[in-house]
Amino acid sequence: MSDVPAPAAPLGAERRSLEPLGFEIPSTVPTHWYNLNADLPEPVPPHLHPGTREPLGPEDLAPLFPMALIAQEVATERYIEIPQTVREIYSLWRPAPLIRAHRLERVLGTPARIYYKYEGQSPAGSHKPNTAIAQAYYNALEGTTKLTTETGAGQWGASLSLAGALLGLTVEVWQVRSSYDAKPYRRFQMEAYGGVCHSSPSDLTDSGRAILAATPDTTGSLGMAISEAVEAAAKDPQAHYSLGSVLNHVMLHQTVIGQEALVQLAEAGDPVPDIVFGCAGGGSNLAGLTFPFLGRNLREGTTTGLVACEPAACPSLTQGTYRYDHGDVAGLTPLLKMHTLGADFVPPAIHAGGLRYHGMSPMVSHAVNLGLMEAVAVEQDEAFRAGVTFARAEGIIPAPESTHAVSAAIAHARAATTDEVILIGLSGNGVLDLPSYADYV
């Protein structure tokens, strides 16, 4: 985008925290993010201004995001270089392991070869730092000193708090009330990293107070929490808003997952998996895992199947409508063309709090709409039973969100009659979500 100005550099300690440390980074840590926009047969429909319904310009998004991220939101080049400082931080846990699930194969009695890409060894326990680090870096580079955000299960809030600690930013989080009450250890994790966490809806914002006045007993939703976080950022000249999923630049940052998996599968002798399963809430883990495979399908004619696995309690892809909708309850966000259940949809307080969003990433929605990816809905009981099976076979307790991908993959593997290759995205660990497993063990 030629009309996007270069970000201004902050001063003093902020600037020093952004300088590369200069140590050698393993060559296996990706050097670029992959942008699916370069290979799609039709462009993703543009985001619209909520007032004029015209395509957004950089000036419309500038109050919320740094210019570097705004440029990435509409970028069309296939690869975007990852800053050295971001790669250094990535190297704390990347490349994430690709593991052959031999024991799970034996338990299932399947001829299929099952692999899983494990993101739970990141410092925060999930895939979320892949974009949290990048977003915090670009914000700090432009001079932002504070980030506001929402979180469901808490993995995103913890990851952005981690990024703030590493890159010198204050982080304020609004967490969906049902998860805030049920998952106190996530809040403690945020606070350990220096973040501040509020239950949402709260009495700290106009939108929160309005929601509480209308529905004082609400369990909350990500749409409500987004409204509060966006409002807080808009009122603070030193703050920007940060989103952990849905937007194009978030999908971009997560593609380190799938790019690594492409290389690792080739090294394992299975370069072209038959089918890939990823859990789907807002779309970031799913996109990060599947988009590099989808790009190869489009460029090279490979036929890897891609499956979005969403909760039956919040089924935006399988039961929502594909249309323009707000990303939040109060209507403060741009209009996004996506599969949506409606911005005012309040899902039941299911355990997989990270998947309780009313809409789906525009890029993921577009891919599904074009028939490039399919979607299935998984019941909570089925998901957790699959999570227990996986844990007892492979030793890793999956995050509740990840169990949806595990469940769909197990069902597919049980029905397999050949040695087809199955890849599962294990987006995080469930160590801080153990109460969710109580009814299934």
Lowest mean pLDDT across 158-172, 189-203, 224-238, 344-358: 344-358
Q: What is the per-residue pLDDT for 48?
A: 96
What average pLDDT does the segment 389-409 reach?
97
Give the Cβ contact number of residue 409 at 10 Å: 30
Residue 418 φ/ψ region, left for φ over 0, alpha for ψ in the -120 to 50 degree band, beta for the rest: beta
Given a contact cutoff of 8 angstroms between Cβ atoms, the answer to whether 125 and 431 are in contact is yes
What average pLDDT does the segment 382-392 reach?
98
Q: Is 237 exposed, middle or buried (0-12, 13-18, 19+ CB in 10 A)?
A: exposed
Q: What percent of the chain has pLDDT over 70?
A: 95
> 376: which strand partners?
309
- What pLDDT, in 10s, does the model give residues 402-427? 999 999 999 999 999 999 999 999 99
Given a contact cutoff of 8 angstroms between Cβ atoms, the answer to whether 155 and 190 are in contact is no
- What pLDDT, in 10s, does the model give residues 296-310? 999 999 999 999 999
Q: What is the per-residue pLDDT for 365?
A: 98
- What pLDDT, in 10s, does the model give residues 322-380? 999 998 887 878 899 999 999 888 877 667 666 878 899 999 999 999 999 999 999 99
- Sign for the pseudo-dihedral over CA of 334, 337, 338, 339: positive
Q: Is 415 exposed, middle or buried (0-12, 13-18, 19+ CB in 10 A)?
A: exposed
Q: What is the per-residue pLDDT for 353?
A: 63
Question: What distance in Å separates the CA atoms of residue 297 and residue 293, rounded to the nearest whole number?
Answer: 6
Q: E strands within 223-382? A: 239-241, 275-279, 305-311, 321-326, 335-340, 374-378
Residue 172: enclosing H or E segment and its boundaries? Answer: strand 170-176
- Mean pLDDT, all residues of the chain: 93
Question: What distance in Å separates the CA atoms of residue 255 and residue 336, rounded to the nearest whole number?
Answer: 21
What average pLDDT does the segment 63-83 reach?
96
Q: What is the per-residue pLDDT for 8?
A: 41
Q: Does the pLDDT value for residue 139 go beyond 80?
A: yes
Strand duo 170-176 + 421-426: pairing: unpaired
Domain layout of the chain by residue ranges? 95-126+254-440
Task: Give the CATH fold of the 95-126+254-440 domain.
Answer: Rossmann fold (3.40.50)
Q: Does the pLDDT value for residue 3 go beyond 50?
A: no
Q: What is the per-residue pLDDT for 348?
A: 75
pTM, 2 dp: 0.94
* Beta-carbon contacts of residue 387 (< 8 Å; ≥ 6 apart): 397, 398, 400, 402, 403, 406, 407, 430, 437, 440
Q: Does the pLDDT value for residue 55 go beyond 60?
A: yes
Q: What is the per-residue pLDDT for 223?
A: 86
